[in-house]
Structure 1
Amino acid sequence: MAGLSTPKQKLSALVITYNEMGYIEKCIDSVSFADEIIVVDSYSTDGTYEYLQQRPNVKVIQHPFENFTAQKSYALRQASNNWVLFVDADEVVNKRLQSEIVETINNPKACAAYWFYRKFMFQNEPLNYSGWQTDKNHRLFQKSKAKYTDKKLVHETLEVDGTSCILNERLTHYCYKNYEDYKGKMLRYGQLKAKESFYKEKHFNYALLIIKPFWKFFNHYVIRLGFLDGKKGIIISYLNALSVLERYRELKRLEKKNELTYYLVMP
């Protein structure tokens, strides 16, 4: 009927966490404009879960971590609204991006999903290069038109039934807290990527063990202009290369374990 306005679209903000005190506070504050906030916590031990329980506008659920794709898929199933905003616990949605998100989901011609470019922060300083300057991720989408593919265990990939567009404002990502934290994260990523390769029946290769980490460092530090980030660029490029090295080390361990299991069960 003429004169009827389109109902305001509701938004679910989703976050997965594990030991994120010091970052989760800013994240939750920045998504408080959403109609629903759901956090899936992997049994944090640093007070993250207890903190979230005290937030009146947050529904926090503890769920064991298997891999990033499985955890995000679980979180997605908890959302009660069709429009979903997925952010990491160390990411912040600034005021301009908040306004753009609200305007976007209430546009009758909205796309099925939206890519976000991200502004990376090395502690509290911007990381302008080092391979991350063109990084983008699907973070805003219609639940009815998207799902996470089970083919990726890390760097989860969204399968979208429809058109994907790009938002103008950037999501702020506090990617680097300290050396040990980032190193641990990169090693975990490498191990998950190894499992992904193992499931796809990709085999360990000594040449790749040497070539791939070197190429990763060279690509991020030289080709992707990491040297312009100074000392920050060296650290990020090295730890990203370490992740690749760990991937092939872990793949070798998985293959040896599989071979041992095979010989033990043979009649």
Structure 2
Amino acid sequence: MLEQLTPLILTYNEAPNIERTLKKLSWAKKIVVIDSYSTDETLEILSSYPQVEVFQRKFDSFASQCNYGLTKITSEWVLSLDADYILTDELIHQIQTLPVETDINSYSFRFKYCVFGKPLRGTLLPPRKVLYKKKKAIYQDDGHAHRVSVEGQSRLLSAYIHHDDRKPLNRWLWAQQRYMVIETKKLLETPNSELSLGDRIRKQKTLAPLVIFVYCLILKGGILDGWQGWYYTFQRVLAEVLLSLHLIEAEKLK
């Protein structure tokens, strides 16, 4: 199937990541990148890969960027990747063996989160639909994130993608600040009956950071990953603390 699909990647100042992602896509005849006017070396790196086609669009939402990207793809199948998603050799082989003619319209992939290049035993990242038929797909915003809705049957593949973000901590903090403003709005404006169990726990404010600490370190085995496991745990706890502070502020300022 590799010859029948086009990778789609969103970028904005992804110089620390994008080359490692592209090196695992050397088999692709064409790679579509939607760039939100990067100001670092991202465009220079992209230009060194002849199969990459870059389209720039002002960022308004992840879903809008992805839907715009789909209009630039001519192949039947799309491989939708973040700029810090690294395909493993096992996953590339598994995609290669998939039938092109099939009743399956999408495939979900599992993730291993990496800290400074080391894959962790556990992650909060759920499986995500990454490979799908273009004509069956549309993206929708979901809080600070986005998700693709694909008609028809889906299948979960056994191999993994590595989520390996090497951007500096200050960029992560900048992103989390933006994300938590959007997440706060989502949690406060969505009825509890429509929220997932995880989001209902997050809405309790003080409970979520404690749950995340135990979940990442103990239940997901982070304590066995050495300092990288502790780093990931502290990172996720800090994100939940930021969300809790935003929720408290929003409720007090009503």
Taking structure 2 as the reference length, the TM-score comes to 0.83
Offset of residue 89 of structure 1: 0.8
Q: 1:147 aligns with which of 138, 147, 154?
A: 138
Q: Does 1:38 align with 2:32?
A: yes
> Structure 1 residues 226 and 206 mapped into 2: Cα distance closer, same or farther (>3 Å)?
closer
| Matched position secondary structure for 1:175 | coil
Is residue 190–residue 245 contact of structure 1 (8 Å, CA) maintained in 2? no
Q: Does 1:250 align with 2:239?
A: no
Offset of residue 114 of structure 1: 0.5
| Matched position secondary structure for 2:92 | helix
Residue of structure 1 in register with 2:81 after alignment: 87
Rg larger in 1 or in 2? Answer: 1
Is residue 116–residue 164 contact of structure 2 (8 Å, CA) maintained in 1? yes
List aligned pairs for 1:7-26, cutoff 5 A: 10-26=4-20
Amino acid at match of 1:250: H
Amino acid at match of 2:139: Y
| Matched position secondary structure for 2:205 | helix
Q: Does 1:129 align with 2:122?
A: yes
Amino acid at match of 1:138: K
Q: 1:159 aligns with which of 146, 149, 152?
A: 149
Offset of residue 136 of structure 1: 1.6
Offset of residue 192 of structure 1: 2.8
Cα deviation, 1:228-262, whole Å, max 9, x if unaligned, reads 222222221222122222223334555677x5xxx
Residue of structure 1 in register with 2:233 after alignment: 237
Distance in 2 (CA, whole Å) between partners of 1:95 and 1:153 is 32
Is residue 9–residue 105 contact of structure 1 (8 Å, CA) maintained in 2? no
Distance in 2 (CA, whole Å) between partners of 1:160 and 1:199 is 26
Q: Does 1:174 align with 2:172?
A: no
| Matched position secondary structure for 2:82 | coil
Distance in 1 (CA, whole Å) between partners of 2:47 and 2:188 is 38
| Matched position secondary structure for 2:27 | coil
Q: 1:228 aligns with which of 217, 224, 231?
A: 224
User: Percent identity among equivalent residues?
Assistant: 28
> Structure 1 residues 210 and 94 mapped into 2: Cα distance closer, same or farther (>3 Å)?
closer
> Structure 1 residues 224 and 99 mapped into 2: Cα distance closer, same or farther (>3 Å)?
closer
Cα deviation, 1:107-162, whole Å, max 9, x if unaligned, reads x2351110111232211222122545xx3211100112222234x03342222211
Distance in 2 (CA, whole Å) between partners of 1:131 and 1:207 is 18
| Matched position secondary structure for 2:146 | coil
| Matched position secondary structure for 1:157 | strand
Distance in 1 (CA, whole Å) between partners of 2:237 and 2:188 is 20
Residue of structure 1 in register with 2:104 after alignment: 111
> Structure 1 residues 224 and 8 mapped into 2: Cα distance closer, same or farther (>3 Å)?
closer
Distance in 2 (CA, whole Å) between partners of 1:110 and 1:245 is 44
Q: 1:67 aligns with which of 61, 65, 68?
A: 61
Taking structure 1 as the reference length, the TM-score comes to 0.79
Higher relative strand content: 2
Is residue 130–residue 225 contact of structure 1 (8 Å, CA) maintained in 2? no
| Matched position secondary structure for 1:39 | strand
Offset of residue 78 of structure 1: 2.3
| Matched position secondary structure for 1:241 | helix
What are the ranges of 5 or more consecutive residues in structure 1 without an aligned counterpart? 1-6, 260-267
Is residue 112–residue 164 contact of structure 1 (8 Å, CA) maintained in 2? yes
Distance in 2 (CA, whole Å) between partners of 1:11 and 1:96 is 17
Is residue 131–residue 225 contact of structure 1 (8 Å, CA) maintained in 2? no
Distance in 2 (CA, whole Å) between partners of 1:223 and 1:235 is 16
What are the ranges of 5 or more consecutive residues in structure 2 without an aligned counterpart? 193-200
Amino acid at match of 2:43: Y
